[in-house]
A and B are shown apart, each in its own frame.
Chain A
Amino acid sequence: MLEKNPVIFIILAFLVIMVGTTVTMIVPFKWINGPGDLIAGVKPYTPLQQEGRDIYMREGCNNCHSQTVRTLAADVERYGYGGTYSKSGEFVYDRPFLWGSRRTGPDLAHIGLKFPDPMGAWHRKHLENPQSVVPASNMPSYAFLNQPLDTTYTERKMKLLKFPYTQGDLDEVKGKTEMDAIVAYMRKLGTDIPIKKAEAATQPTGNLKNPYSDLKGVKAEALSLFAKDCAVCHGENRQGNIGPSLRGSAKSDAELFAIISNGRGGMPSFGSSLDEQKIWKMVTLIKLGKHDD
């Protein structure tokens, strides 16, 4: 019967595929993004951020960048930047989601925490010419984003997505470039979730004492730490790039320690990701390593 009647066959096949569909795709609508998932601090995108998100989609950045910190310890350590793993509530305004399936480049879910500079100087330099900050990068150059942003649909987008906005928000978008928009989007990612705070900001007082008075013993480790965490802003050889040159410094050890620990302006804080010993080792490298590579 079944083998002979194509109409019955098609209906049956449809029903069979709908079983798994219902359980794993339709039923979960009941919970996902429900009140239990919401996170108080998470705000919808501003007009400029949403324009930036649309440019992110247009350029297909999602083909190389994911946007979810998995619950794995290594993921949290690498991409959490003080936040923990990703939760549903962080994405309730994302239409579509942009989690991606490949990490040709690093995860960007919390990238706003990694580069706190409000002007986005690092992002601009990096997007214009990624190899100028990370020489071995294979990310394409996006210098062409320095062109006027088309704002024709900005207001309609906000209405359609049901995001709140003010006339001021809309005025802010006028005269901006596409680069401004995508940087605003990068700056927002991850910044409205609760993060682990570094213990009360370190004060550069006299009782902060550098335990390392000799560069020799710490040089190798300090260089490797520097390459990992600092080179993207201060240059491969500490010659300076977005951040100032760190080949020697007039500042005191304690001052340097405090800046690295607390951050300042475009300089992120490392107090929660590097322990004191490591920070001191880098202070030693900065102070004494004027001619060392």
Chain B
Amino acid sequence: MNAPTRYIDDSVKGFIIWSIIWGTVAVLVGILISLQLVWPQLNVAPYLTYGRLRPIHTNAGIFGWGIGSFIGLFFYITQRLTRTPLWSPGLARLTLWLFNIGIASAAVSLAMGYNRTKEYAELEWPLAIVVAIIWVLFSINVFMTILKRREEQMYISLWYIMAALVGVTVLYVINNLGVPLNFFKSYSIFAGTNDANVQWWYGHNAVAMVLTAPPLAIFYYYLPKVTGNPIFSHRMGIIAFWSLIFMYLWTGAHHLLWTPVPDWIQTLAMAFSIMLIAPSWGAVFNGYLTMNGQWEQMKTNYLVKFLICGITFYGLQTLQGPMQAIRTFSAFIHYTDWVPGHVHMGALGWVSMVLFAAIYYTVAKMYDTDIYSVKLADTHFWLVLVGQLVYSITMWVAGVQQGSMLLATNPDGTLHYSFMETMIAIFPYYKMRAVSGFIYLAGLVVFIYNIYKTAEKGNTQLSRASQP
């Protein structure tokens, strides 16, 4: 019983490497589409047109970078929290293969125009089934490891992980229901307003179960590891957890305000979105209070910077989100660039910041060494921070400006601006956003170099140690 557990980390490495590769693809495609919005000549018909590339961007970002690294890190975390080796390393390797085949075919199939058009569920049915299989195989592996655990207490991270396992499965399967026409095309079984309501029940809870619960699991594991402080309140974590997963599912229709979806569904969505501030900030306070008396680590510990900055953006995101869910505000910003501003504060500021910290820490641990260069990690931090801020701020300004121009009317009730006038007004912001993408990319390159050097350092230390 007391023999140290032998953890199995080869798939952790595999998933981390590949998620970084897919994340880089997401950023490169993101930069390309941001340029296409300024210079439409950059569309290469038919495969590389904006309409086909944008879903490649979002899928590479959410599934490739997000879910890929979550799977890797969850294999890592679960083993440590349960003090149990991974249930099936073979299955984990198979999952990695399927994952890469799945994401690569997703990119190819979207470029070829096989697109269901439902956001974040664009893949046609054969690939949707592959995605579901990947998720189930991964879930079984994690769940069986938990079941066989040697540590009785289940730490809060495991809760968030398990909720994501069930949540994503239910959401993904239901929103993908369709009748196949042939191997390459299917039609949704829901029609019109029903389909819209199902889609955004899915869409918003993809935010909950993919872009909130997993990064929170990671945050709750790595913050204590990195700082040496125990988490401030386990109980607060538990209350926040249950209220979070209860409330999120009511809020999908805040993506559909002022549309034909019945008013009462919209109103419920609005109310629950505002209530969501409480559990969201429960996690934020738990993070901040864990740092109590230790704030100087923000200067001395490069990983704390990433984590605390990440949870801060999560806090801002969960204040901004409820604001967007209010009808009057939605009237202004819905459909405008404000929303990509919101999305990328979450994707780049919250999810990616936490992932960067977790990956630095985990890679150094797995290679049994220290990070190659703290200085480079600092450079990386500042570049991605500035890139993300420039992205979000320019898009918020653009969104408010275009939103108010679109709604402006003359005294006689006619519109004050034509659509094109509102669009020409935001081109300067589009250019700045493209620049922000390059800044972010530079940060990413520094990160990749640093990780590569750290692994290399670990390998040479290892071979030196094994020499007689």
Question: Quick one: given A32-B262, A74-B407, are A97 and B195 in contact (CB under 8 Å)?
Answer: yes
Q: A25-B252, A91-B193 are contacts. A77–B414 as well, Cβ < 8 Å?
A: yes
10 A/B residue pairs, CB under 8 Å, sorted by A: A20-B251, A24-B252, A25-B198, A28-B265, A32-B193, A66-B335, A72-B407, A94-B191, A96-B199, A229-B418
Whether the Cβ atoms of B192 and A9 lie closer than 8 Å is: no
Measured between beta carbons, the chain B residues less than 8 angstroms from A220 are: none
Q: Is there an interface contact between A153 and B253, defined as CB atoms closer than 8 Å?
A: no
Closest residue of chain A to B234 (Cβ to Cβ) is A3
Q: Smallest CB–CB gap between A93 and chain B, Å?
A: 7
Q: Is the Cβ of B115 less than 8 Å from the Cβ of A57?
A: yes
Report the minimum CB–CB distance from A87 to chain B (whole Å): 5
Residue interface mask B360-384, A partner, CB < 8 A = 1? 0000000000000000000000000
Q: Is the CB of B245 within 8 A of A60?
A: no
| Interface residue tally for chain B (C-beta within 8 Å) | 95
Chain A: number of interface residues, binned into ranges: 35 or more
B259 engages A144 (CB within 8 Å): no
Report B-chain residues with C-beta under 8 Å of the C-beta of A17.
Answer: 163, 166-167, 170, 205, 245-246, 248-249
Name the residue of chain B whose CB is nearest to the CB of A159: B181
Instruction: Give the distance in Å from the alpha carbon of A139 to the alpha carbon of B115 in the complex.
Output: 19
The interface-forming segment of B3-11, B40-48, B291-299, B445-453 is B40-48
Partner among B192, B201, B255, B331 whose Cβ is within 8 Å of the Cβ of A97: B192
Assess the A9–B250 pair: CB atoms within 8 A: no
10 closest residue pairs by CB, A with B: A60-B51, A91-B192, A20-B249, A70-B258, A58-B113, A140-B43, A20-B250, A103-B335, A96-B188, A228-B418
> Which of B152-160, B224-232, B385-393 lies at the interface with chain A?
B152-160
Tell which of B128-136, B351-359, B419-427 binds the partner. B419-427
Q: Which residue of B lies closest to A152 (CB)?
A: B182
**Chain A residue contacts of B339, Cβ below 8 A:** 101-102
Nearest B residue (CB) for A134: B420
What is the CA–CA distance of A99 and B49 in the complex, to the nearest angstrom? Answer: 20
Q: Out of B37, B166, B189, name the residue touching A10 (CB < 8 Å).
A: B166
Q: Does B23 contact A (CB under 8 A)?
A: no
Contact A96 B51 (CB under 8 A): no
B246 touches A3 (CB 8 A): no
Q: Which residues of B contact A78 (CB under 8 A)?
A: 406, 415, 419
Question: Judging by beta carbons under 8 Å apart, are B197 and A32 in contact?
Answer: yes
Question: Scoring A residues 8 to 22 as 1 if CB is less than 8 Å from chain B, else 0, what string do you get?
Answer: 011001101111110
Given A32-B193, A97-B199, A153-B185, 9 extra CB contacts under 8 A = A7-B147, A21-B249, A25-B249, A62-B117, A92-B191, A96-B190, A98-B117, A99-B256, A144-B45
- Determine if A86 and B259 form an interchain contact, defined as CB atoms under 8 angstroms apart: yes
Are B252's CB and A6's CB within 8 A? no
Task: Give the residues in chain A near B83, CB-CB below 8 Å.
Answer: none
Which of these, A72, A92, A139, contacts B40 with CB under 8 Å? A139
Question: B54 interface residue, CB < 8 Å from A?
Answer: yes
Which B-chain residue is minimally distant from A139 (CB atoms)?
B40
Given the known inter-chain contacts A60-B117, A73-B413, A74-B409, please indicate yes or no for A130 contacting B260, CB distance below 8 A: no
Contact B117 A33 (CB under 8 A): no
Would you call A10 and B162 a contact (CB within 8 A)? Answer: yes
